Chains A and B, each alone.
Chain A
Amino acid sequence: MTSGDARLRAARTRYDDAVHAERRARVAAAPEIRARRERLRRAARWGVVACVLVIVGCLVAAALFVWSGARDQRRLDDDEQARDTASTTVAALLTADPAHADAYVDRVLSLTAGAQHERVAKARDQLRDAVAAEPEPNTGQVLSAGVTGRSGDDVVVVLVAQASDPSLIGASAADRRITLRVTMTERDDRWLLSRSEVVE
């Protein structure tokens, strides 16, 4: 046997020993590796659960924010439309041309609803005659209007108007400036004046 053969055999023996040692080490470490994998899997599972909770929570919160924001915006829009329409309606009610008394009454009827509409409809002829008997056209303008609150779906508006003939809306003719409390009702996407009251 040559010295080369002896070195080769020794190397093979060392290689086999190393392979066996690696196998033994792998077997010895297997439970720890399995445990670590299991820990990572469990952590990932909890991570996914946490993410799902965050997603659900955020979606619910976002839906609530959108819902309440839409409700707030709708209220602001309703208030603004009711207030603006109350102003233009009261100005229209205080603006009457004796030469067009019938048109005035028709306009008042088209801008009112409920009790106010019925009252004007019942007194249609008297109102037309009163407007026609005026010596000159009457005018009116609203100086300020503000929303006081709601009565069901109706919006209550208080406003101050200046009129050449406040009696057109039931106020004393002596005072050119009047304060009114009016109720606006929404019908078919239109705000109509359903009640008016002079604040004295």
Chain B
Amino acid sequence: MSRRWTLPIAVCSAVLAVVLCVAAVMWRTPAAAQTRSADELSAQAGGIVATVFSASRPTWKADRARARSLTADPFATSSSKALSDGPPDGVQEVRWTPTDVGVVDAQPESGEVLVVVRATVTPMSGAASSQVKSVQARFVRDDGRWLLSGLDELR
């Protein structure tokens, strides 16, 4: 083969290699996006749910504002009153502590997570009471942040 063909053949091969690389990236992208969503939801969902449903009397207003900043519609609208009201009579603190976070479904822009929490209510006087709750929480990604968009209490 003549040496004058070496460069054109090398250029064509390089172009083919670039096309192959782009195809590999495109093939990988959907699974990578789903895996990334699953990892992010696994790490963040419990904390988001806990933050939205936890508040302490001395910092109630700030806690509720923080909770509202972590919600998206339709949950933000349906819970706007509950997330704006002051503390219930006789309640010092409500604290949700996640114990298990199971990813039910993870898509690049949305996801569903089963969150098991220990919900503890501390009254103004007397002992705190706890119970285990299991909730199915729905999330949407908004500008790179996961926000709580729906919630069903299963148990």
Tell whether A52 is near chain B: CB-to-CB under 8 Å: yes
Q: A114: CB under 8 A from chain B?
A: no
User: What is the total of A-B residue contacts with beta carbons within 8 Å?
Assistant: 120
CB within 8 Å of B: which A48-97 residues = 48, 50-52, 54-55, 57-59, 61-63, 65-66, 68-69, 72-73, 75-76, 79, 83
Asked if B7 and A44 sit within 8 Å, CB to CB, the answer is yes
Asked if B10 and A75 make an inter-chain contact with CB atoms under 8 angstroms apart, the answer reads no
CB-contact partner of B102 in A57, A145, A200, under 8 A: A145
User: CA of A72 to CA of B24 in the docked complex: distance in angstroms?
Assistant: 13
Interface residues on B, range: 35 or more
| Given known contacts A62-B21, A65-B21, A177-B155, A55 and B13 CB-to-CB distance under 8 angstroms | yes
- Assess A181 versus B104: contact at CB under 8 Å? Given A65-B24, A160-B134: no
**B10 CB to nearest chain A CB (Å):** 4
B55 in contact (CB, < 8 A): no
Given the known interface contacts A66-B27, A179-B116, the answer about A149 and B42 at a Cβ–Cβ threshold of 8 Å is yes
A127 at the interface (CB under 8 A from B): no
Chain A residues near B127: list those with CB within 8 A.
none
Pick from B6, B25, B99, B154: contact of A48, CB below 8 A. B6
- Whether, in the assembled complex, B28 has its beta carbon less than 8 Å from a beta carbon of chain A, the answer is yes
**A65 CA to B99 CA, complexed, in Å:** 35
CA A2 – CA B101 in complex, angstroms? 117
Query: What size tier do the contact residues of chain A reach?
Result: 35 or more
**Closest residue on chain B to residue A77 by CB atoms:** B31
Whether B155 pairs with A178 at a CB distance below 8 angstroms is yes
Whether, in the assembled complex, A147 has its beta carbon less than 8 Å from a beta carbon of chain B, the answer is yes
Evaluate contact between A68 and B32: CB separation under 8 angstroms.
Answer: yes
- Please tell me if the beta carbons of B28 and A177 are within 8 angstroms of each other in the complex: no
Contact in complex: B6, A179 (CB < 8 Å): no
Bound Cα distance from A160 to B132, whole angstroms: 12
A54 to B114, CA, bound (A): 46
Q: Which of B76-129 contact A (CB under 8 A)?
A: 99-104, 112-114, 116
Q: Which of A44, A58, A147, A200 contacts B17 (CB 8 A)?
A: A58
